[in-house]
Structure 1
Amino acid sequence: MSETRAQAEKDETKAGALPEAELVKRPMAAFWKLTKAWLTAPDRGNARWLILALVLLTVGQVAVQIRLNIWNRDFFNALENRDFAAFRWQMVVFLMLAVGAMAVAVYQLYTKQLIQLAWREWLTKRILESWLHEGRQYQLEMAGASADNPDQRIAEDIRVSVDLAVDFVGGLLTCSMMLAAFVGILWTISGPLHLGFVGIDASIPGYMVWAALTYAIIGTTLTLVVGRPMVGHNFARVAAEADFRFGLTRARESGEGIALIRGEVDERRGLERLFGNVRGAVRRLMRSQRNLMYLTSGYHSLAMIFPTIVASPAYFSGAITLGGLMQIGAAFGQVQSSLSWLVDSFPRIAEWRAAVNRMVNFREVLDELDALVADPSQPTITVTEGDPDTLVFKGIEVAFANGTTVIQDATAEIHSGERVLIQGESGTGKSTLFRVIGGLWPWGAGEIVTPPRETMMFMPQRPYLPLGTLKESLSYPAGPDKYPDEECHKALERVGLVRLPERLHDEERWDRVLSLGEQQRLAFARLLLHRPAWIFMDEATAALDERNQDAMMQMVLDELPESALVSIGHRPGLEAFHTRTLKLQKAEGGARLTRPPRPPRQQPRWKIPGLKNPLKRRPRVPV
């Protein structure tokens, strides 16, 4: 039974192990590069002054500890000599030192937290700029890149990377100063150790220093050997936790769909499987921590008595007083603690390296996407801005990230004021073609010349409604102050959302409060406010009944008669609102963009009271 369990633990450890190349040098070098970029950036704020303040406070902390070490000697000497006056004075000195230590510790912690916050804010801003830039957040998901759960990497991994890095630098700075100060004290007060061996007299100067150094080297070496697997196990744990959290978020966001099809049992099964990954990763980490705890617990327990044992011969021989013995013990503790910083910090170092690895990996994947788009030697779709009155496709070939071609040799030209409907079977790449126009899809070849981006507006099937007030959703992506409330009221009433104007400044999850049909009508109201010259609709009326679809389309023609309209749609009656049709026809090697024969014009299915007939001929104007 024990052999079976041991084999199971071995298999779990092997499953959670990571390639050595992913754990060590490259992430650390990249993180150091980010650190230097922050300290030299024009928007670093008062980071340098905060770091200087932290150094000065650390010097103050070390000075207090040195004075406490001297107090330790004088206090115990007063006790040994039964000198009550000296004892009373040492209590006063201790109170003053305690107040000083408290003040230094408080401001040292506060300064360190200010540095952590400033650094995290700067790094988060930089990574957000790279992630939410020209569709990189979308391309990252479509490329299947090895940077899962960007929310976890931005929110949690950056925090852990920054907070622990500042903690470690502060700890190393303190340990270095303590070591420099107390090595001298320990060397002086411990004196030489005289040895007699085979008639030869020998002495070891500052023998307590060598004892502390030997003790720390042994402990550090054993810690590195025993604790090394913890880095990989921490990485696996963080990734598993992120996947589990994403599964919970997805279940919450999709609560209605899960409830309607009674999918709770299957959803629980999936979440339990994700938590099983968490459990396995945590168990592997726990075993590593257990093994390390055996070592560190014994190491620190022995350190409590080790200096007293080593220095006791000098005390019993009368070479040092009780105060001197206590001072040696305290100084040895400071030296040994400084030298053993790695032993104490190793579990947190393992966690930090895992977070740095994930954060740096995420940044590198974003940089690779930027390089792919910017590299002229790579076969990518070139999107350039040109004539504001023309949209041109020049031999466009659209592929998936894995290289599979979905659209081949698409060539077309659309002019300002035209209304073009793009149709095709499911899977021919209609929506992907829209993503190409929007500059989101770099995979493929060819060139697209678009109007200026600020003249274009895209309307997907499910409109994006940001968190905040209804007016913020209506004005998006512009700010809520750009449009007066009166204009927003008119736009909402124009699309039939007559109950919403009075809630313009209410803050809700509007993507949940409104039905999909209402969200699509809100997108048309947004269109009325922005009044773009080019409108791109991807199944933007799919959730509306035909009556409301015709009403929305007719409204666009009436309110924005000069705007170009490019639509994707399958619903009956859409042809009546467009002047021509392009079709993506399935073919071997990818769909082709063709122009089918022009069908006879038909009247819309629904005649909406109060709306003009979009097909009614206008009287010719004499030339």
Structure 2
Amino acid sequence: MRKLSAAVAAFAVLAALSGAHMADTDLFILAVAAALCAYTTWRGAEMSSFMKIFAAIFSTETIVFGLIRLVQAEGGWPGALAAYAPPESMAVTVAVFSIAVYAVSRIPVVLEMTRIADLYFDSQDRGEGRVWPFPRFAARESAIAIAMIVVLVLINQGQVGITVRLSFFNRDWFNAIQEKNAAEFWRQLLFVFTPWAFFYVAIAVMEFVIQSMLIIRWRRWLTEHYVARWLGGHTHYGMTLAGGPADNPDQRIAEDVNRFINGGDEGYGIYSYSILLISTVSSLVSFSFVLWELSGNYPLPGTNFYIPGFLFWVVLAYATLGTVITHIIGRRLTTLYFDKQRREADFRFSLARLREYSEQIALLSGENAEQGTLLQRFRGIVFNYLSIVVKRKQLMIFTATYGQLSPIIPYVITAPFYFAGRIQLGVMTQTASSFARVESALTFFINYYTSLAQFKSVLDRLSSFDETIDVARARSEGARVVSRASGEALALADLTLSLPDGRRIVQVDRLSFEPGQSVLLTGPSGSGKSTLFRAIAGIWPHATGSVALPQGASLMLAPQRPYIPMGTLAAAVVYPAAVEDFVRSDIEAALIAARLAPFVDQLDVNNNWGQRLSGGEQQRVAIARALLAKPDWLFLDEATSALDEKLEGEIYRMLRDQLPKTTIVSIGHRSTLLDYHARQIEMEERADGLFAPRDKVHA
């Protein structure tokens, strides 16, 4: 950006010298605009990477179109290409764009938008692309995205330029109709309108294809980024324990990322608004110049006094008034849309949870209770929906009225001059068209207020999701108690465990588990037995102290209710590894050893095994996983509680035979478990209310 700034500054000096040489005021204006552009480009080194793309494009165009303007001023532009010369105001226009990008980039809400966008545009990941008819190529993913943005901006500017050119066609065509000039009528239609119109269609199709590719690549990368952040370092578990504002992370990743980039069904996300704003500002500046020049045809009503840019000031005042009123009416919409996403996600989650626990609900005849809960949550959706309807109704009344009046105003202003014969029909229609374009650009906020409110709610949801992830990760990093030691024992020292609300529950001064010594951990419910296991596994974020694992030793924890993913039974048994990592016969042998022989011939069957298998069968799937993983330390957190005592005994004896090198530590309440463990540790309550592990000696 600094080198580009120097180049723009050099051009500003050249434009000033040229203006002094030719005594051309317009060139002095261009020099001033370029100088300001050079300053903001220099300061633009501090901007986000996403905003730098647009600033760099416009600053570069300031030099390109500025040099063309100097060539035109010197009379060096070829006469044969006169119809294809860019407007004389083009250089000033793009300089204003570059300055505007710098100004907009400092707005707080834009800073938040670009913080998320920069995750993609700052990435160093490699990607592949292909531009027909050339072969595929590999490059930095962000570089491919930047190239797409540049092409899309250029296409967009070309579309605006074509629209401006067609406004002059519209003027000349209507003048030809008024003058009954058939030759000019057909010349304008065939040689001006037709080529420009078809060129517009061609680049519109090109824009759609490039835009679609950019959106899906961007969404894929950002989705992978958030999934990695959410799952990495057990962050998802820490967020679940803490609760907080980041409800329904599944929706934030699946829907909010899509809405952030492209708006989802609404079609307006950060990409859409970026390009839309460029188009809007392009139209605003381009047609403002046209409207300013046309204002010379219209004195103040009833006088011969001309105000420079009279029509522009009229449309500016009109649009400003409409924008202020729109914001006053609709400012609560952002909050309502934020609440809408939360309520919808909660309702969907309740339905999914009901499906997951359908058997338990049926056994308890809990359908009426579930129906009441579902309808209560749906009533919240209805209430929120009606609140949005009320606000949108108020907005619609105003914006529809505003929209109905807008097309009439320029004709009301120009009609007296047309009827007095002071202007032609073509000038009248061009004035109305330019007025409408400028008014539409200035009322961007009015026209897109509802979708902007929806986008702001999506931005808030992603921002709060990011913040919650950061908090959970910071808490997890600060509570990292597990380390590796050179000894063979698993040793705990000065370990304090707390609940998510901050209340301390377990205090371990000194405790060690010797390899090969099976241990049974017992104690009353709520004494922190499972919490202690999770701290040893390294996933409990509310811990201080030390857990030293033997160097190189592997650890596995089987909970009371194991996770059974959807898919094939083989994939569920080897989870989280891949089926390809094991010999088929080993998987079958593990099932048989876990007393699941009837399921051997169903290993390749896709099903929702978490619902199809009984609680005891699910626990035995977890046992089969342990047989395949062969950990050095196996922690069983009531992992056989759903089995009868006879089958439980068979499983423990089988584990001892199949995993002779594995040290088993169990949580359980049955007295029969003592027969399969050499040591018992009891969680006892101390005088201060904390629970502490104590060895229990049996007579």
TM-score scaled by structure 1? Answer: 0.87
Please give the per-residue CA displacement for 1:247-292, whole angstroms capped at 9, x wherever unaligned.
2222121111111111111111111111121122222222111111
- Give the C-alpha shift of residue 180 in structure 1: 1.9
Tell me the equivalent position of 2:499: 400
Tell me the equivalent position of 1:81: 179
Maintained 8 Å contact 2:493/2:511: yes
From 117, 120, 123, the counterpart of 1:38 = 120
- Give the C-alpha shift of residue 128 in structure 1: 1.7
Q: Which moved more, 1:332-341 or 1:450-459?
A: 450-459
Tell me the equivalent position of 1:123: 222
Higher relative contact order (CA 8 A, sep 6+): 1
- Equivalent residue runs for 1:7-406 within 5 Å: 29-43=111-125, 44-45=141-142, 46-92=144-190, 93-163=192-262, 164-195=269-300, 202-375=305-478, 380=479, 382-387=481-486, 389-406=488-505
- Give the C-alpha shift of residue 27 in structure 1: 6.4
Q: Which moved more, 1:458-467 or 1:382-391?
A: 382-391
Maintained 8 Å contact 2:562/2:618: yes
Amino acid at match of 1:327: Q
For residues 363 and 454 of structure 1, do their structure 2 counterparts lie closer, same or farther at Cα, with a shift above 3 Å needed? farther
Amino acid at match of 1:81: E
Is structure 2 residue 676 aligned with structure 1 residue 577?
Answer: yes
Tell me the equivalent position of 1:613: none
Aligned length: 570
SS in 2 for 1:425: coil
- Give the C-alpha shift of residue 357 in structure 1: 0.8
From 538, 552, 555, the counterpart of 2:637 = 538
Report the Cα distance in structure 2 between the residues aligned to 1:270 and 1:254, rounded to whole angstroms.
15
Is structure 2 residue 554 aligned with structure 1 residue 420?
Answer: no
Report the Cα distance in structure 2 between the residues aligned to 1:508 and 1:374, rounded to whole angstroms.
38
SS in 2 for 1:194: coil
- Give the C-alpha shift of residue 65 in structure 1: 0.9
Report the Cα distance in structure 2 between the residues aligned to 1:286 and 1:72, rounded to whole angstroms.
40
Report the Cα distance in structure 2 between the residues aligned to 1:501 and 1:83, rounded to whole angstroms.
88
Maintained 8 Å contact 1:28/1:356: no
Tell me the equivalent position of 2:686: 587
Amino acid at match of 1:65: T
- Give the C-alpha shift of residue 201 in structure 1: 5.3
Maintained 8 Å contact 2:561/2:619: yes
Maintained 8 Å contact 1:468/1:508: yes
Report the Cα distance in structure 1 between the residues aligned to 2:599 and 2:108, rounded to whole angstroms.
54
Maintained 8 Å contact 1:398/1:445: yes
Root-mean-square deviation (Å)? 2.2
From 583, 587, 590, the counterpart of 1:488 = 587
Whose helix proportion is higher, 1 or 2?
2
SS in 2 for 1:301: helix
Is structure 2 residue 608 aligned with structure 1 residue 509?
Answer: yes
Tell me the equivalent position of 1:621: none
Report the Cα distance in structure 2 between the residues aligned to 1:569 and 1:487, rounded to whole angstroms.
29
Report the Cα distance in structure 2 between the residues aligned to 1:512 and 1:28, rounded to whole angstroms.
46
SS in 1 for 2:579: coil
Maintained 8 Å contact 1:71/1:90: yes
Gaps of 5+ in 1: 1-23, 600-623
SS in 1 for 2:664: strand
- Give the C-alpha shift of residue 144 in structure 1: 2.6
Maintained 8 Å contact 1:401/1:443: yes
TM-score scaled by structure 2? Answer: 0.78
Percent identical among aligned pairs is 33
Amino acid at match of 2:175: N
- Give the C-alpha shift of residue 354 in structure 1: 1.0
Maintained 8 Å contact 1:425/1:586: no
Amino acid at match of 1:577: Y
Please give the per-residue CA displacement for 1:331-377, whole angstroms capped at 9, x wherever unaligned.
221111111111111111111111111111111111012222334xx
For residues 26 and 247 of structure 1, do their structure 2 counterparts lie closer, same or farther at Cα, with a shift above 3 Å needed? farther
SS in 2 for 1:573: helix
Tell me the equivalent position of 1:620: none
Amino acid at match of 1:333: A
Report the Cα distance in structure 1 between the residues aligned to 2:301 and 2:428, rounded to whole angstroms.
23
Maintained 8 Å contact 1:489/1:501: yes
- Give the C-alpha shift of residue 313 in structure 1: 2.4
Amino acid at match of 1:187: W
Report the Cα distance in structure 2 between the residues aligned to 1:392 and 1:570, rounded to whole angstroms.
24
Amino acid at match of 2:293: T
Tell me the equivalent position of 1:9: none
Report the Cα distance in structure 2 between the residues aligned to 1:273 and 1:463, rounded to whole angstroms.
31
Amino acid at match of 1:341: F
Report the Cα distance in structure 2 between the residues aligned to 1:479 and 1:453, rounded to whole angstroms.
22
Report the Cα distance in structure 2 between the residues aligned to 1:453 and 1:462, rounded to whole angstroms.
28
Please give the per-residue CA displacement for 1:117-158, whole angstroms capped at 9, x wherever unaligned.
223222222222221122221111111322221112222222
Q: Which moved more, 1:314-323 or 1:412-421?
A: 314-323
Maintained 8 Å contact 2:481/2:543: no
Report the Cα distance in structure 2 between the residues aligned to 1:110 and 1:370, rounded to whole angstroms.
39
For residues 339 and 512 of structure 1, do their structure 2 counterparts lie closer, same or farther at Cα, with a shift above 3 Å needed? same
Report the Cα distance in structure 2 between the residues aligned to 1:348 and 1:323, rounded to whole angstroms.
36
- Give the C-alpha shift of residue 381 in structure 1: 5.9
Amino acid at match of 2:691: A
Maintained 8 Å contact 1:381/1:448: no
Maintained 8 Å contact 1:383/1:437: yes
Report the Cα distance in structure 1 between the residues aligned to 2:114 and 2:314, rounded to whole angstroms.
35
For residues 451 and 356 of structure 1, do their structure 2 counterparts lie closer, same or farther at Cα, with a shift above 3 Å needed? farther
- Give the C-alpha shift of residue 48 in structure 1: 0.6
Q: Which moved more, 1:544-553 or 1:102-111?
A: 102-111
Report the Cα distance in structure 1 between the residues aligned to 2:187 and 2:642, rounded to whole angstroms.
85
Report the Cα distance in structure 2 between the residues aligned to 1:541 and 1:196, rounded to whole angstroms.
92
